[in-house]
Chains A and B, each alone.
Chain A
Amino acid sequence: MNQTKAIAWQKRLYFMKRYGIGLLFLLPWLIGFCIFVAIPIGWSLFMSLHKVAVVPGGFKYDWIGMKNFKDAFVTDNVFPIELITYFQQMLLMVPMIVIFALLISLMLNQRFPGRFLYRAIFFLPVIFATGQVLSELFTQGAGEIPFIEQYNLEPLIEQYIGKQFAETIMSVLSRAILILWYSGVQILIFIAGYQTISPTIYEAVRIDGASPWDSFWKITLPASVPFISLNVLYTIIDLFTFPLNPVLAHIRDNMFKMDTGYGYASALAWIYFGFIFVLIAIVLLLFGRSVKTRRDRR
């Protein structure tokens, strides 16, 4: 009896020693996670199920269950439309950013004098592509691709793609450059990714007589699939907090409305998050398989 107790004590001591130092390192993050993430998330879920009113000295909660979530689609005639339009835009913006980053990074990966200068240029927008400066540029209409107006592309797009999509496409194209500003980090990820492909492979296929064109399709592209998926995910998450995101503006407006309030706003935020989450899950599913097969082959 006594012995088993002693053994148990020894065991506990061993684990404490083993885990203690690791937990010590993790402790600040763990405390932070509880206070600044877990509690707010729980609170916000709680609020989304209530009608929240601000009274002197705090909040007043009235339980209304799922009504907030239902209202978002049934009563609110702005939110679903904005959500759909923004998702359409996003489906256009994500490939645009990733493909642009891929092409530019391919060019920047070549060895040529002065490439540091060009790398700097393409990374420059990261410095201010977040925040107020960008939305100021947006509102003043900078960042249009010049040829859109010159060649009057709008009727053409309307004619060939249909009116309901034309609007989305035009609104994306009209600030194409500023959207492409979001590709700084992605370009860096791609460039860093290419460094992981060993140069001996390129040499080997060149001796076997493959043209650079072949070696791009057969080696560079397959090897950078994981980075493409990483970039797609990063772009989606980055576009969450896009400064001119109409959904977020709508959520913000609803926070301060008398009849809707924080509860409804939190519900909207959760719906938005849910949609993004589904999108991320789909991307993971699509790319996950290709990444896995590649890992297995290694």
Chain B
Amino acid sequence: MNGELWIEKVSRQVKGIFWSRTAQRIKVVVLGRNISDGLLANLILYGLLTIVAYLYLQPIFYMISTSLKNLNDLLDPTVTWIPRVVTWQNVSDAFRGLQYPDALKNTALIAISCSLVQVLVCAMTGYALAKLSIPFKGLFTALVILTFLIPPQIIIIPLYVIYSKLGLLNTPFVFLIPAFFGQGLKSALFILIFRQFFKSQPLSLEEAAKLDGASTLRLFFGIMFPLARSACLVVFLFSFIWYWNMYYEPSWFLANDFTPLSIRLDRLEDVLNPSLLGQRNTIENPVTEGAKMAAAFLIIFPPIIVFMFLQRWFVTGIERTGIVE
């Protein structure tokens, strides 16, 4: 009898605490009104993202740590992440082996000039496919998609012959001229991006400009192209990054003196250890591992800097271009 009363009293008290205003407030803070705005949800979100981000970035950490290790640390399996002695030897080796300033100049020249040209030409083509009246428009669009699907391996030999006939090999023009004619690296993708962007622009804009007497050329360069700033930025950055990193095409078209960074990374081992020439890939050579990683880091360093400054505009730009609709 007494015990039952006591239990009821306690349970009422517990309920009272549980339903009190403070408890409610705590509950809102921890669990949130929605699934996504409570403290707990945020903690889980942060935890998950941080773990995945750590795994995701691990190869970069590996790259940086390997490039700072000396030979002893590289061969010692007990040293995993933090080298015992930080050495800059690898970095200076890589700098020398890549002939960094020279190669950087080549790569930057190709990447920047080709990307700029590509932005303009792809915008024009995309605009034509989106808004202008052309016979067989569907066919042309299908052909653009086809060029996106064709793997470069199929056409690389004929291209090599054509470029050598045109005398373009070993010059930056071997990439600049196709870019000018809308056939640069992944141009088809960029054309489709621009097409999508211009399609989403309202027709009334054009009509208003036409009524005011603007020609199509004026309309494009005066209104549509400046309007496509966000799409331009996205295309420029992607194009810049892909030109910066491309390996397959320059390995065919560019030779000894005029080579970008990616080719020189491939040849780094020969440059640093001429005695091992011809034996590469057959042996794991720990001696140059550090230098290679340092070189890899030197290669990705400039794009990372560029990206760090532009990333905010980049992500919102992609959201705004409506690439995906």
Q: Do A and B come from one complex?
A: yes
Stretch of A72-80, A84-92, A185-193 that contacts chain B: A185-193
Given the complex, which residues of A lie within 8 Å of B281, measured CB to CB? 139
Please determine whether A132 and B158 come into contact, CB atoms closer than 8 angstroms.
Answer: no
Task: Determine if A124 and B181 form an interchain contact, defined as CB atoms under 8 angstroms apart.
Answer: no
Contact between B132 and A195, CB atoms less than 8 A apart: no
Assuming the A-B contacts A33-B147, A40-B155, A177-B56, are A110 and B45 also in contact, with contact meaning beta carbons closer than 8 angstroms in the complex?
A: yes
Interfacial chain B residues near A272, Cβ < 8 Å: 151, 153
Minimum CB–CB distance for B305 against chain A, Å: 10
Binds A, one of B10-18, B21-29, B312-320: B312-320
Pick the contact of A142: B59, B155, B157 (CB < 8 A): B59
What's the Cα separation between A248 and B7 when bound, in Å? Answer: 76
- Complex formed: what's the CA distance from A133 to B266 in Å? 9
Closest 9 CB pairs of A and B: A32-B181, A22-B132, A29-B182, A40-B155, A131-B245, A25-B128, A40-B158, A212-B35, A43-B158
Proximity string of chain B (250-293) to chain A, C-beta cutoff 8 Å, 1 when within and 0 when not: 00000000000011011000000000000001000000010011
- Separation of A19 and B132 alpha carbons in the complex (Å): 8
Tell me whether B241 and A127 are in contact (CB under 8 A).
yes
B268 to chain A, nearest CB (A): 9
B204 at the A/B interface (Cβ < 8 Å)?
Answer: no
> A25-B127, A29-B182, A123-B311 are known contacts. Are A133 and B153 too (CB-CB below 8 A)?
no
A125 lies within 8 A of B242 (CB): no
> Which residues of chain A come closer than 8 Å to B266, judged between CB atoms?
132
What residues of B have a CB within 8 angstroms of the CB of A195 in the complex? Answer: 319
**A121 B53 Cβ-Cβ under 8 A:** yes
A61 to B107, CA, bound (A): 37
User: Within the complex, what minimum Cβ distance (angstroms) separates A45 from chain B?
Assistant: 9
Interface string of A236-272 (1 = CB under 8 A from B): 0100110100001001100100000010011001101
State A243–B161 Cα separation when bound (angstroms).
Answer: 24
Contact A237 B323 (CB under 8 A): no
Q: Which size bracket describes the interface of B in this complex?
A: 35 or more
Contact B58 A140 (CB under 8 A): no
Assembly CA distance A119 to B258 (angstroms) = 36
Q: Which residues of chain B come closer than 8 Å to A63, judged between CB atoms?
A: none
Q: Are A32 and B304 in contact (CB under 8 A)?
A: no
Known contacts A21-B217, A110-B36, A181-B56; A37 and B152 CB within 8 A of each other: no
CB-based contact B162/A140 at 8 Å = no
Chain B nearest CB from A40 CB (Å) reads 4
Q: Is B299 an interface residue (CB 8 A)?
A: yes
Q: How far is the CA of A55 from the CA of B121 in the complex (A)?
A: 38
Q: Does B83 contact A (CB under 8 A)?
A: no
Q: Are A189 and B311 in contact (CB under 8 A)?
A: no
B55 within 8 A of A: yes
A201 at the interface (CB under 8 A from B): no
A/B pair count, beta carbons within 8 Å: 244
A32 touches B36 (CB 8 A): no
CB distance from A223 to the nearest CB of B (A): 12
DSSP class of A's interface residues: helix, strand, loop or mixed? helix
The answer, among B49, B135, B220, B299, for a CB contact under 8 Å with A118, is B49
B324 near A192: Cβ-Cβ < 8 Å: yes
- Is B303 within 8 A of A128, CB to CB? yes
Residue of B36, B150, B178, B300 touching A212 (CB-CB under 8 A)? B36
CA distance A25 to B125 in the complex (A): 6
User: A53 on the interface (CB 8 Å rule)?
Assistant: no
* A284→B56 CA distance, assembly (Å): 30
A180 near B312 with CB under 8 A, answer no
Mask, B166-194, CB within 8 Å of A = 1, is 00000000000010111100010001000
For the complex formed, measure the closest distance between the CB of B297 and the CB atoms of chain A, giving whole angstroms.
9
A118 vs chain B, min Cβ distance (A): 5
Show 20 residue pairs from A and B whose CB-CB distance is below 8 angstroms, ordered by the A residue.
Answer: A22-B132, A25-B124, A25-B125, A25-B128, A26-B132, A26-B134, A28-B181, A29-B182, A31-B181, A33-B182, A44-B158, A104-B52, A108-B49, A112-B45, A130-B246, A140-B62, A143-B58, A177-B59, A230-B324, A243-B247
Q: Is A35 an interface residue (CB 8 A)?
A: yes
A23 interface hit (Cβ, 8 Å): yes
Does B307 sit at the interface, judged by CB under 8 A?
yes
Q: How far is the CA of A40 from the CA of B246 in the complex (A)?
A: 20
Residue of A23, A137, A196, A280 near B63 (CB, 8 A) is A137
Q: With A47-B158, A132-B299, A133-B245 given, name 12 new contacts (CB 8 A).
A: A21-B132, A33-B147, A40-B159, A116-B312, A123-B314, A131-B246, A137-B62, A137-B63, A142-B59, A188-B318, A192-B324, A237-B148
The answer to whether B149 and A193 touch across the interface, beta carbons within 8 angstroms, is no
A52 to chain B, nearest CB (A): 9
Q: Does B133 contact A (CB under 8 A)?
A: yes
- In the complex, are the beta carbons of B300 and A39 less than 8 A apart? no
